[in-house]
Amino acid sequence: MLKVKEVSELIGISVRTLHHYDEIGLLSPEKMSGSGYRLYTDTDLEMLQQILFFKELGFPLKRIKDIINQPSFNRKEALETQRKMLLEKKKRLNQMLTLIDKTLKHEKGELELSNKERFEGFDFSKNPYEEEARERWGNEAVDKSKKKVSSMSTSEQKEMEGKMNAIYRRLAELRDSSPTSEESQEAIKEWYDFLNSNFGHQYSYEAFKGLGQMYVADERFTKNIDQFGEGLAKFMSEAMTAFADKNK
Amino acid sequence: MLKVKEVSELIGISVRTLHHYDEIGLLSPEKMSGSGYRLYTDTDLEMLQQILFFKELGFPLKRIKDIINQPSFNRKEALETQRKMLLEKKKRLNQMLTLIDKTLKHEKGELELSNKERFEGFDFSKNPYEEEARERWGNEAVDKSKKKVSSMSTSEQKEMEGKMNAIYRRLAELRDSSPTSEESQEAIKEWYDFLNSNFGHQYSYEAFKGLGQMYVADERFTKNIDQFGEGLAKFMSEAMTAFADKNK
DNA sequence: ATTGACTCTCACGTTACGTGATACTTTAAA
DNA sequence: TTTAAAGTATCACGTAACGTGAGAGTCAAT
């Protein structure tokens, strides 16, 4: 069992960080000495490794706490998911390297670079790995929408629900047409805007696409959506994918 | 020329961020409309790209501002340095992937993993790229010490200078002995502690070693230090390297 | 003229610690 | 056994980098 300085030196994080993690309930050591000293066990260190990987991937500490406290949390699975996420991060890094090379060529007058192209290697999606985390450890869109809704007044809830239903009904009318038609895409845009302005969560196009995929993968979504019309979830999923791919 | 929302949507950063960068003088648009709207030119966007690369590499905004305001700042050179840094970042990412693979093997009982090994892919050095930035855009140890000194009272300056000179003199006395001797290492530790408590900058052992190397690589340092004794810069450099290697 | 979208500044809030202070505990040396 | 230095705790303010909401001014289309 290690005390704070020992852990701090072993890993290279500050004692203050360890205190902070204890305070917020993220990592509280399994044992305390009689005089109130924190004593970290091997198990604590195993969990700390998990935390540091999630932190490296840009997850806020609160979210990390959520995740590791899931009853279904399993370290081996987590490592595999984190591995996948790190590979994606590596891909993004490669995109940035490609962008630098292009910019250097541009500086040398070897190629043209539009303003848009100048920033194509950057991706400021909120947290690109949150979608994956959600799939594995919790469906935050559903959870968050439930929470957000429950904190509204009744009339606010009715208004929002009315808007949502209207969009669903509109989409249901369109579900026999092509998901990529102009009308369908317009309606999906409305859905995209609605989600982004009412649920305290900002969807990237990629995340929106992932959400659409979940509509058909997750029974709860499919059932809920298909109330408005048989096959609506599938239609929306396809339309959302098309929307995201068109706008990326 | 683009207004804030256009820039925000082009790149994916918030309007607030652009406001903030203007406020702190990091990126102020070249033009303003008659009514006070920020108007960003292509040149502004070029600089913003630079800023975002530095930010990706973990540089604080203040430091980024320092760097890009250097008279010697040159975008092509910056891109090349940033490229190098991103490659290093990629290497660190690979180390983490390797660590995950090792941890997974451990979970499966295929290998042993000590507590130390469990964290070997992590590196929490302050900002690992600062050393390189310093080499290229400014010798912050010198600059910062000058700035720090100029904001002190005269008596504070004398006291600090006295301490510094005493350490130099001590080291000068030892310069004909081995840089790794106990006495030399003690004196170097004093220098390390002095630097870390007087210049508003925290040296990692690696950075301290790098600084020692600069003493012989940078004419200004060598000249300044050798005032205390011929060959002192070289001696200190070697002793600092030994000190860092022993403590890492 | 009106309205909705856009822009500005202001200012408080959030997140994740860094830092210094004060008091208690532990450890090693005298 | 005592002492002093190192280690640990809690407290609380500060920093960095925005996020968020508010209120007022601007712009463009109807």
pLDDT in tens, A175-219: 888 888 878 888 888 887 777 665 544 566 666 776 777 677 656
Contact between residue A120 and residue A92 where contact means Cβ atoms under 8 Å apart:
no
* DSSP-based three-state secondary structure for B237: helix
**SS3 track for chain A:** CECHHHHHHHHCCCHHHHHHHHHCCCCCCCEECCCCCEEECHHHHHHHHHHHHHHHCCCCHHHHHHHHCCCCCCHHHHHHHHHHHHHHHHHHHHHHHHHHHHHHHHHCCCCCCCCCHHHCCCCCCCCCCHHHHHHHHCCHHHHHHHHHHHCCCHHHHHHHHHHHHHHHHHHHHHCCCCCCCHHHHHHHHHHHHHHHHHCCCCCCHHHHHHHHHHHHHCHHHHHHHHHHCCCHHHHHHHHHHHHHHHHC
Contact between residue A210 and residue A141 where contact means Cβ atoms under 8 Å apart:
no
- Across the range B74-81, mean pLDDT stands at 92
For helices A140-150 and A130-137, angle between their N-to-C axes, nearest 10 degrees: 90
Cα separation, A132 vs A124, in Å, equals 17
- Top pLDDT among A124 and A155 is at A124
- Across the range A5-26, mean pLDDT stands at 94
Torsion over CA of B9, B15, B19 and B22, rounded to 10 degrees? -10
> Residue B94 above 90 pLDDT?
yes
Strand partners, A2: A40
**SS3 track for B33-51:** CCCCCEEECHHHHHHHHHH
A110-119, A227-236, B80-89, B217-226: the lowest-pLDDT one: B217-226
pLDDT at residue number A185 = 81
C1’ C17 / CA B176, Å: 44
Residues of A with CB under 8 A from a CB of B: 2, 10-13, 42, 45-46, 49, 52-53, 56, 75-76, 79-80, 82-83, 86-87, 89-90, 93-94, 96-97, 100-101, 103-104, 107-108, 115-116, 118-119, 122-125
Q: What average pLDDT is seen over chain A?
A: 80
> Residue B166 above 50 pLDDT?
yes
Residue B222's CB is within 10 A of a number of other CB atoms, namely 19
- Across the range A2-28, mean pLDDT stands at 94
Contact between residue B121 and residue B98 where contact means Cβ atoms under 8 Å apart:
yes
C-alpha distances out from residue B52 to B59, B61, B116, Å: 10, 10, 34
Distance of CA B204 to the CA centre of its chain: 10
Of how many residues is chain A composed? 248
The closest of B22, B5, B2, B47 to A118, measured between CA atoms, is B47
Q: What average pLDDT is seen over chain B?
A: 80
Cα separation, A11 vs B118, in Å, equals 9
The backbone torsions φ and ψ at residue A160, rounded to the nearest 5 degrees and listed phi first, read -70, -40
The backbone torsions φ and ψ at residue B229, rounded to the nearest 5 degrees and listed phi first, read 165, 135
Chain A residue numbers with beta carbons less than 8 Å from the beta carbon of B122 are: 11-12, 52, 56
> Residue B152 above 50 pLDDT?
no
- One-letter amino acid for residue B71 of the chain: P
> Residue B236 above 70 pLDDT?
yes
Note the pLDDT tens digit of each residue in A30-86.
999 988 999 999 999 999 999 999 999 999 999 999 899 888 888 999 999 999 999
Chain A, chain B: beta-carbon pairs less than 8 Å apart: 102
pLDDT at residue number B36 = 93
Question: Above pLDDT 90, what percent of chain A?
Answer: 39
Contact between residue A138 and residue A72 where contact means Cβ atoms under 8 Å apart:
no
Q: Which of A115, A123, A124, A248 to mutate to test the interface with B (most CBs of B within 10 A)?
A: A115
Note the pLDDT tens digit of each residue in B181-193.
878 888 888 887 7
Give residue A150's pLDDT band: very low, low, confident or very high (50, 70, 90).
Answer: very low
- Burial letters for B189-215: b for 16+ Cβ neighbours within 10 Å, e otherwise? eebbeebeeebeeebbbbbbbbbbbbb
> Residue A135 above 80 pLDDT?
no
Query: Hey, are the CB atoms on A93 and B89 less than 8 Å from each other?
Result: yes
The closest of B31, B40, B75 to B54, measured between CA atoms, is B75
Query: Hey, are the CB atoms on A11 and B83 less than 8 Å from each other?
Result: no
Query: Hey, are the CB atoms on B10 and A116 less than 8 Å from each other?
Result: yes
Query: Hey, are the CB atoms on A107 and B75 less than 8 Å from each other?
Result: yes
Note the pLDDT tens digit of each residue in B9-62.
999 899 999 999 999 999 999 999 999 999 999 999 999 999 999 999 999 999
pLDDT at residue number A210 = 65
- Across the range A115-125, mean pLDDT stands at 85
Of how many residues is chain B composed? 248
Looking at the predicted complex, does its ipTM rise above 0.90? no
Give residue B143's pLDDT band: very low, low, confident or very high (50, 70, 90).
Answer: very low
- One-letter amino acid for residue B228 of the chain: F
Note the pLDDT tens digit of each residue in A209-234.
767 776 776 565 666 677 777 788 88
Residues 6+ apart with CB under 8 A from B57: B82, B85, B86, B89, B127, B129
Give residue B134's pLDDT band: very low, low, confident or very high (50, 70, 90).
Answer: confident
Q: Where are the beta strands (DSSP E) in B110-247?
A: none
Q: Tell if A14 CB is < 7 Å from nucleic strand C.
A: yes
CA angle B182, B123, A23 (to 5 degrees): 105
A35-44, A102-111, A137-146: the lowest-pLDDT one: A137-146
> Residue B160 above 80 pLDDT?
no
Cα separation, A244 vs A196, in Å, equals 14
pLDDT at residue number B100 = 95
Residues 6+ apart with CB under 8 A from A57: A82, A85, A86, A89, A127, A129
A106-120, A139-153, B116-130, B229-243: the lowest-pLDDT one: A139-153
Query: Hey, are the CB atoms on A119 and B11 less than 8 Å from each other?
Result: yes
The closest of B118, B102, B239, B97 to B167, measured between CA atoms, is B239
pLDDT at residue number A186 = 82
- Work out the minimum CA distance from B211 to partner chain A, whole angstroms: 21
Residues 6+ apart with CB under 8 A from B242: B179, B180, B185, B188
A25-39, A124-138, B65-79: the lowest-pLDDT one: A124-138
pLDDT at residue number B157 = 52
Cα separation, A151 vs A147, in Å, equals 7
Cα separation, A210 vs A232, in Å, equals 16
- One-letter amino acid for residue B197 of the chain: S
Tokens of B214: 């600069």
